[in-house]
Each structure stands twice: as C-alpha cells, then as structure tokens.
Amino acid sequence: MTTLNSHGPARAAYVPFRVPPVHVPVESDWSNLSEVVGLLRYDGQCSAGMDVPVFRRRRLRAGRSLFSMGQEFGGLYVVRSGNLKTVMTHAEGSEHVISFSMQGDLLGAEGVCEHHYWCESFALTDCEVIRLPTDDYFSPGRTGDGVERMICWAISREVGKRQASYAITRAAKSEVRVARFLVEQSERHAALGYSPTRFTLAMTRRDIGGYLSVTLETVSRALSALQQMQIIEVSNREICIHSMAALRAFEG
C-alpha cells in the first residue's frame, strides 16, 4: 500500500486530470481584463477595453516566494496556473499553513489595509500569476469602471473560502479533518473542470498537517484508514476517490 510522499515535492511534474480539455491561450508577458474576469469566474460588468493587455504576468519556479511577510504591499495576484501555499510564521519560528491556492484564486488581500503582506506565499509547483496593481484602481479621484467591484468581489470570495477552511480545520476529530480536506480538494478541482474523483495533490503530507493543525503521522494514518475502507486509493500523491458519499460521511 502506498501513501503520500512526505519528503518534499514529487519529482514528476504536477499534472491534474482535466475534463474536458480547454484551449490554452498563446503565451505572453501580459494579460487582459477579459482573462482576469474569466479566471476569477466573475459574472459582473466591467468597462470597455477588455482585450487590452494591461496586467503584468509573473512566473515562479517551484519553491520560490511570491511575496514575504512584512514586504511592502505591491498589489493582488490572480493565479493563472500552478499551485501555491500561503503560510504565517510565528515569532518562535513555528509555521502555520493558511491556504493552498490554485487557478483563479486571489492572493495578497491581507496586505490591502496595512500596506504590507501579513503572510508569505510559496510556489508548490512552477506557476504563473497575474498582478493587479490595486493602487491604480483605488487611487483618489478615479472614476469607477467595474474593476473595483470585481476586486472587492474577489476579496469577499476569499474571505468566504477562509471561513469554510476554518470549519474544516476545527473538526472534532483529526482524521475527519483529513477526509474533509479531500472533499474540499475534490470540489475545487471540479470547479476548474478537472476530475473530482482522480487528482494529484501538489502539497506534501507535512503541508496538509500544517494546514489542518494535525501531525504528519495523523495525515498518514487517516489516508491509510480511508484506503483500507476502500473509500479512496492513494498512490504517492495521486488520489482516487471510490465513494464520494462515503468520504463525506467519514467520521474517523
């Protein structure tokens, strides 16, 4: 029986199972408003100029930092591709994983009010992000054109996801947290058009434990228990869910 590898990123590139295949746009260093709206899945109205490339892209290799704790706020970031984790390091050196981000997620919202980032975001895989220079959209005297509403909507959505994640990480039993985490990952993959029952985790068991406030051993034990009950199948970082209903009902 195989379990998730806890010794750092897998050697093979992270390739999720996508259904159905989608068109991949031509690469460049800039993105337009239309692409940002699509990535955020925003259904509101924005101004004209949707096809003008005005947002700068940034590419990150796995392990590189997007922004650091205490760094001056430089805008928000929309994940275009790849996976990142956001962490907060406490004064004594302990690290808590705040979130795992994938395509369409918004990063950096914590820095808006204090003008510096409160957390640090790392690339779990090679990834690409799009920078939203918020100073350009919230500067005094600027006439609103809908982009501000989109940004506020995206920030509000991130707050909602954090609240849902808090409920997952505060489940009574540690093993239940792991099961609910897999359900969360399944739903997020499904929302992006990936298979909800077969996907590859970009994070390690240690990362998952840091996110759920449980030990690495607990994560391993819970995955093994779920596999023994034939609810899931685990092969390295690949997860195959045999029964979503049973996974949702799992109580450890």
CA distance 124 to 142: 37
CA distance 132 to 56: 8
Q: So where are the chain's domains?
A: 30-167, 170-249
- Whole-number pLDDT of residue 45: 76
- Whole-number pLDDT of residue 233: 97
- Whole-number pLDDT of residue 156: 86
Cβ atoms within 10 A of the Cβ of 224, count?
13
- Whole-number pLDDT of residue 134: 78
CA distance 79 to 213: 25
pLDDT tens, the chain, 252 aa long: 444 444 444 434 444 444 443 334 444 699 998 999 999 999 877 765 677 778 999 999 999 999 999 999 999 999 999 999 999 988 787 888 999 999 999 999 888 887 899 999 999 999 999 999 877 666 666 655 678 888 888 988 888 887 777 777 776 688 899 999 999 999 999 999 999 999 999 999 999 999 999 999 999 999 999 999 999 999 989 999 999 999 999 865
- Whole-number pLDDT of residue 247: 94
- Whole-number pLDDT of residue 138: 62
Backbone angles phi, psi at 191, to 5 degrees: -65, -25
- Whole-number pLDDT of residue 72: 92
Structure tokens at 91: 């004064």
Does 30-167 match 170-249 in CATH topology?
Answer: no
Cβ atoms within 10 A of the Cβ of 79, count?
22
**Which helix (H) or strand (E) element contains residue 150?**
helix 147-169
- Give how far Cα 227 sits from Cα of 132, 144, 221, 242, Å: 42, 52, 10, 10
- Whole-number pLDDT of residue 244: 95
> What architecture (CATH level 2) is domain 170-249?
Orthogonal Bundle (1.10)
According to the CATH classification, is domain 30-167 in 2.60.120.10? yes
- Whole-number pLDDT of residue 148: 81
- Whole-number pLDDT of residue 94: 80
| Matching residue, tokens 């959505």 | 157
CA distance 20 to 154: 25
The answer to whether 76 touches 107, Cβ cutoff 8 Å, is yes
- Whole-number pLDDT of residue 8: 44
